[in-house]
Amino acid sequence: MKLLKNLADQGKTVVASLHQPSSEIFSLLDRLIILARGEVVYDGKTIELTNYLDSIGYRCPVYSNVGDYVLQQIHDDVDTFINKWKQYSDRSKTKSSVPGLERQQSLPVTQSMVMSEKRAMASIVTQLYVISLRSLKIFIRDPLPTYVRFGQVLFTGVLEGLLWLQLQDLDSITNYNTATVNAQNRFGGIFYAVAFACMNAIMTVLHVVCVCVCFFLKCMFAPCMFLHACFLKCMFVDPFFFKKKKKANLTFPSQRLIFQKERASNWYYTWVWVLCKVFIDTPMSCLAMVPFAILIKYMVNFRADVVNIYISLTLCAIVADALGFFLGTIANRPELAIQISPVTIIPLMLFSNFFVATNTIPAYLRWIKWIDPFFYGTEIFSIDEFQGISTGEQLLSNYGIKSSDKSRDIYLMLALFFGLRLVGIVSLLWRNGW
pLDDT at residue 93, rounded to an integer: 55
- Cβ count within 10 A of residue 171: 12
CB 151 within 8 A of CB 292: no
| pLDDT > 90 fraction of the chain, expressed in percent and rounded | 24
Residue 67 near residue 20, CB atoms below 8 Å: yes
Distance separating alpha carbons of residues 36 and 199, to the nearest angstrom: 51
Of the pLDDT bands very low, low, confident and very high (cuts 50, 70, 90), residue 212 is very low
User: Which pairing describes strands 31-36 and 39-45: parallel, antiparallel, or unpaired?
Assistant: antiparallel
**What is the mean predicted confidence (pLDDT) over 302-318?**
94
Say whether pLDDT at 337 is over 80.
no
333 in Cβ contact with 375 (< 8 Å)? no
pLDDT at 18: 81
Give me the mean pLDDT over the 249-256 stretch: 53
Judge contact between 368 and 351, C-beta under 8 A.
yes
pLDDT at 201: 83
Q: How far apart are CA 192 and CA 183, in angstroms?
A: 14
Q: What is the pLDDT of residues 112-168, one digit of tens each?
A: 444 444 446 788 888 888 888 888 887 788 788 788 888 889 999 999 999 999 999
Q: Which residues pair with 32 in a beta bridge?
A: 44
| pLDDT at residue 202, as a whole number | 77
**Domain spans of the chain?**
2-106, 118-432
- pLDDT given at position 162: 94
Stretch 213-217: mean pLDDT, rounded? 35
pLDDT tops 60 at residue 269: yes
At 282, the amino acid letter reads: T
Average pLDDT of 335-350?
82
- State the pLDDT at residue 7: 82
Q: Work out the average pLDDT over 285-295.
A: 93
Between residues 52 and 338, the one the model is more confident about: 52
pLDDT band at 303 (very low <50, low <70, confident <90, very high): very high
How distant is the alpha carbon of residue 396 from its chain centre?
37
Check pLDDT > 50 for residue 353: yes
pLDDT at res. 278: 80
pLDDT at position 229, please? Answer: 39
Rounded distance between C-alpha atoms, residue 112 and residue 175, angstroms: 81
Highest mean pLDDT of the ranges 274-288, 293-307, 323-337 = 293-307
Rg of the chain over Cα atoms, rounded to whole angstroms, equals 31
Considering only residues 331 and 103, tell me which one the structure prediction assigns the higher pLDDT: 331
Task: Check whether 265 has a pLDDT greater than 50.
Answer: yes
Its pTM stands at 0.63
Does residue 182 register a pLDDT over 80? yes
- Residue 167, pLDDT score: 92
- Using the predicted structure, report yes or no on whether residue 399 has a pLDDT greater than 50: yes
The pLDDT mean for the chain works out to 78
Which pLDDT does position 12 carry in this prediction? 81
Residue 1: is it exposed, middle or buried by C-beta count within 10 angstroms (0-12/13-18/19+)?
middle
Q: pLDDT tens for residues 13-28?
A: 888 888 777 777 877 8
Give the model's pLDDT for residue 434: 66
The whole-number pLDDT of residue 405 equals: 92
Better-scored residue on pLDDT, 91 or 188: 188
pLDDT for residue 224 is more than 90: no
Lowest average pLDDT, out of 72-76, 93-97, 377-381, goes to 93-97
Residue in 385, 322, 323 with CA at minimum distance from that of residue 348: 323
Segment among 52-61, 328-337, 379-388 with least mean pLDDT: 328-337
